[in-house]
C-alpha cells in the first residue's frame, strides 16, 4: 500500500482536513449542527472510498454514520468502529495553531481530532479504499462511526440493539488508542471503564462579602476542597466505601506479562516535567494506569476567577470528577456508590448536588483470537518488531456494549503515541504513524 499512499497522500490530507475543520464537539449543545455536517461529510467519504452504501442514521443523540460493502456473505465480516466527535479544545490560549484549522508541520498533522479519532478512523477508510481499488478486498466491511464517544456514547447501545442484524460481524476493529512507542508497537488488550459525575456545593443563597461573613458562614469552595481531599487515603487509594469490592487482583503471571512493556521512569518524568510520580501504593506506574482504578478531578470552579483580588464568599462551588474503572467494576454501580458517598460526607452547613453523567464499563480482549494474531502479524511486518500486548488506561465506553450486544470482541489497533497529546491543546498525529497505520490495517485484512 506504500505506493498508493505516495500517489494519493495530498488528496488524503485534503479529505481528512475537511473533517478536521468541522468543530464536532459533542460536549457542547451549540455544535449540534456541526455534528450533522461532519457525519454527512464522513458518509460522502465512505461512498467515495468504495462503500456500496453509506448513510447518516439518526440516533437519540448525534447521528451514526453507517456504511458497508458486502463482497460475499460467505466471507468474514469486519465491523470498523470509530467516532467523529472530538473533545472541547479548551484551554484555547495554549494552542499554537487554530484547533480547527489543521496544518502539517514537523512531520505531523496538528489540530483537534487529528488523532482522536478522525485521524485514526480515516486510516480505515483509506485502507479500505486501497483494497477496493486494487481488487484485493476479501472481507465484508461495515463501518459504524458515532458522534458521542467523548461524552460516553449515551445513545449508541440503543442504536446497536436496533441495528443488531445488519451489524453482524466477526470482529470489531478499532483504532482509537495509543501504542507504547514506535519502537515498541503494542496492541491494547483491555481498557478501563469510566464513571463521571458533576458535583455542586451550595452554601449561602448568594455571593457574600467575605469580610462581613467570613469566619461565620461555610464557604462552599473550602467545603468542596475538604470533601475532595477525603476521596483518597494516605496510600493513594480511592476512599469511597465499596469502591474496590469488585476489583480483581491480577495474578503474578499477568502482572509479569504486562511488565514486559518497557518503561523508563526518568524519561516519563522528563516528558511531563514532574519531580515525582504518585499513585496507589504497591503498584508500578503502568499498573496504576493499566490495571488499577483511580479518581481524578477533571475540573473545578467557584467564586471569582478573573484578574485581580476580588474578595467574596461565594454561594457555590463545582467540580467534575471522573473515575477510571477496571473491567470487573460496573460503571453504573460505581457512579451510584460515589454519589451516595459524596452526599453522605457533606457537612450540614452546605447543600450538595450530584449529577451523574454517562460512563461505561471496562473490558478485556483475548490475545488468542485469530483477529489478534492477524493484527500482530500485520504490525510485525510494518514495524519489523512484534507488538506487545498492553493495557490501556483510557476508556471507550461503548466497546463493552459491543461485546455484550453483538457478541464479538473488539480489536484495538491503535496508532496514537503519547506525544500526540489527545484531549489536550496541540493535539497532533505523526504522519509516520498515520501511514504505518494504514499499511497495518491493509495487511490485517490480508492475514485475517
Distance CA 16, CA 121 (A): 10
What element of type H or E holds 81? Answer: strand 77-83
Part in contact with a second copy (CB under 8 A); list of ranges 67-75, 254-262, 329-337, 392-400? 392-400
Residues across the chain:
448
In the complex with a second copy, the residue whose CB is nearer, 30 or 72, is 30
Distance CA 352, CA 342 (A): 8
| Cα 194 to Cα 148, 153, 357, 365, distances in angstroms | 14, 11, 10, 17
Is cis: bond before 432, omega within 30 of 0? no
Q: Find the helix packing angle between 2-20 and 32-49, rounded to 10°.
A: 160
* Site membership for a second copy, residue 111 (CB under 8 A): no
In the complex with a second copy, the residue whose CB is nearer, 48 or 90, is 90
Query: 172-191 mask for a second copy (x: CB under 8 A)?
Result: ------x------------x
* Site membership for a second copy, residue 345 (CB under 8 A): no
CB of 233 to a second copy, least distance (A): 11
CA dihedral 32, 36, 42, 43 (to 10 degrees): 150
Q: Which of 7, 14, 29, 366 touches a second copy (CB under 8 A)?
A: 29
The residue among 358, 367, 370, 346 whose CA lies nearest residue 395 is: 358
The b/e string for 209-238 (b: 16+ C-beta within 10 A; e otherwise) is ebeebeeeebbbbebbbebbeebbeeebbb
* Site membership for a second copy, residue 344 (CB under 8 A): no
Of residues 30-49, which lie at the interface with a second copy (CB under 8 A)? none
CB of 285 to a second copy, least distance (A): 5
DSSP collapsed to 3 states, 165-230:
CCCCCCEEEECCCECCCCCCCEEECEECEEEEEEEEEECCCCCECHHHHCCCCCCHHHHHHHHHHC
In the complex with a second copy, the residue whose CB is nearer, 162 or 298, is 298
In the complex with a second copy, the residue whose CB is nearer, 310 or 340, is 310
CB of 227 to a second copy, least distance (A): 8
Q: Which of 189, 398, 422, 441 touches a second copy (CB under 8 A)?
A: 422
CB of 354 to a second copy, least distance (A): 14
* Site membership for a second copy, residue 147 (CB under 8 A): no
* Site membership for a second copy, residue 418 (CB under 8 A): yes
Of residues 56-95, which lie at the interface with a second copy (CB under 8 A)? 87-88, 90-91, 94
* Site membership for a second copy, residue 311 (CB under 8 A): yes
* Site membership for a second copy, residue 313 (CB under 8 A): yes
Query: 203-222 mask for a second copy (x: CB under 8 A)?
Result: xxxxxxxxxxxxxxxxx-xx
CB of 83 to a second copy, least distance (A): 14
* Site membership for a second copy, residue 314 (CB under 8 A): yes
* Site membership for a second copy, residue 425 (CB under 8 A): yes
Part in contact with a second copy (CB under 8 A); list of ranges 12-20, 132-140, 320-328, 433-441? 320-328
Cβ-based burial of 33 (10 A; exposed 0-12, middle 13-18, buried ≥19): exposed
* Site membership for a second copy, residue 248 (CB under 8 A): no
* Joined grid coordinates for residue 164: 443488531
In the complex with a second copy, the residue whose CB is nearer, 389 or 425, is 425
CB of 360 to a second copy, least distance (A): 11
CB of 332 to a second copy, least distance (A): 15
What element of type H or E holds 390? Answer: strand 388-390
The b/e string for 6-17 (b: 16+ C-beta within 10 A; e otherwise) is eeeeeebbebbb
Distance CA 23, CA 113 (A): 9
Distance CA 47, CA 49 (A): 5
* Site membership for a second copy, residue 424 (CB under 8 A): yes
CB of 191 to a second copy, least distance (A): 8
* Site membership for a second copy, residue 101 (CB under 8 A): no
Q: Which of 108, 317, 339, 413 touches a second copy (CB under 8 A)?
A: 317
Place of cell 470533601: 227
CB of 397 to a second copy, least distance (A): 10
Degrees (nearest 5) of the Cα angle 266, 426, 45? 125
* Joined grid coordinates for residue 322: 471522573
Size of the site for a second copy (CB under 8 A): 105
CB of 432 to a second copy, least distance (A): 20
In the complex with a second copy, the residue whose CB is nearer, 108 or 127, is 108
In the complex with a second copy, the residue whose CB is nearer, 77 or 178, is 178
Of residues 249-308, which lie at the interface with a second copy (CB under 8 A)? 272-280, 285-286, 288-289, 292-308
Q: Which residues contact 66 (CB under 8 A, 6 or more apart)?
A: 54, 55, 57, 142, 143, 144, 145, 163, 166
Amino acid at each position: 500500500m506504500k505506493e498508493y499512499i505516495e500517489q494519493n497522500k495530498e488528496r488524503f490530507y485534503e479529505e481528512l482536513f475537511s473533517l478536521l475543520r468541522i468543530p464536532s464537539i459533542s460536549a457542547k449543545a451549540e455544535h449540534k449542527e456541526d455534528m450533522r455536517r461532519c457525519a454527512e461529510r464522513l458518509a460522502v467519504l465512505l461512498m467515495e472510498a468504495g462503500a456500496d452504501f453509506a448513510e447518516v442514521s439518526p440516533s437519540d443523540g448525534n447521528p451514526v454514520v453507517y456504511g458497508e460493502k458486502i463482497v460475499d456473505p460467505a466471507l468474514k465480516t469486519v465491523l470498523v468502529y470509530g467516532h467523529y466527535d472530538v473533545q472541547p479544545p479548551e484551554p484555547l490560549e495554549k494552542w499554537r495553531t487554530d484547533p480547527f484549522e489543521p496544518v502539517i508541520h514537523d512531520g505531523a498533522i496538528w489540530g483537534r481530532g487529528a488523532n482522536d479519532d478522525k485521524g485514526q478512523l480515516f486510516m480505515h477508510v483509506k485502507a479500505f479504499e486501497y483494497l477496493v481499488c486494487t481488487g484485493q478486498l476479501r472481507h465484508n466491511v461495515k463501518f459504524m462511526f458515532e458522534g458521542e464517544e467523548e461524552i460516553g456514547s449515551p445513545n449508541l447501545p440503543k442504536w446497536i440493539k436496533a441495528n443488531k442484524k445488519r451489524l453482524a460481524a466477526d470482529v470489531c476493529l478499532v483504532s482509537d488508542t495509543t501504542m507504547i512507542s514506535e519502537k515498541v508497537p503494542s496492541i491494547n488488550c483491555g481498557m478501563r471503564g469510566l464513571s463521571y459525575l458533576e458535583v455542586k456545593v451550595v452554601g449561602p443563597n448568594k455571593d457574600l462579602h467575605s469580610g462581613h461573613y467570613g469566619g461565620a458562614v461555610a464557604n462552599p469552595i473550602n467545603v468542596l476542597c475538604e470533601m475532595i481531599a477525603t476521596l483518597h487515603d494516605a496510600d493513594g487509594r480511592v476512599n469511597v466505601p465499596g469502591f474496590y469490592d469488585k476489583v480483581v487482583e491480577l495474578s503474578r503471571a499477568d502482572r509479569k506479562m504486562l511488565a514486559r512493556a518497557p518503561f523508563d521512569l526518568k524519561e516519563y518524568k522528563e516528558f511531563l516535567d514532574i519531580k515525582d510520580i504518585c499513585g496507589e501504593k504497591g503498584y508500578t506506574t503502568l499498573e496504576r494506569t493499566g490495571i488499577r482504578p483511580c479518581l481524578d478531578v477533571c475540573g473545578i470552579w467557584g467564586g471569582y476567577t478573573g484578574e485581580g483580588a476580588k474578595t467574596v464568599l461565594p454561594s457555590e462551588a463545582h467540580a467534575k470528577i471522573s473515575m477510571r474503572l477496571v473491567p470487573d467494576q460496573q460503571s453504573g454501580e460505581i457512579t451510584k456508590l460515589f454519589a451516595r458517598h459524596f452526599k453522605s460526607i457533606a457537612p450540614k452547613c452546605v447543600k450538595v448536588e450530584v449529577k451523574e453523567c454517562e460512563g461505561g464499563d471496562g473490558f478485556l480482549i483475548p490475545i488468542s483470537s485469530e483477529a489478534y494474531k492477524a493484527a500482530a502479524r500485520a504490525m510485525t511486518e510494518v514495524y519489523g518488531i512484534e507488538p506487545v500486548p498492553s493495557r490501556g488506561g483510557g476508556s471507550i465506553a461503548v466497546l463493552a456494549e459491543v461485546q455484550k450486544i453483538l457478541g464479538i470482541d473488539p480489536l484495538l489497533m491503535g496508532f496514537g503515541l503519547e506525544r500526540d497529546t489527545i484531549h489536550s491543546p496541540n493535539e497532533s498525529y505523526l504522519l509516520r504513524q498515520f501511514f504505518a497505520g494504514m499499511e497495518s490495517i491493509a495487511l490485517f485484512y490480508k492475514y485475517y
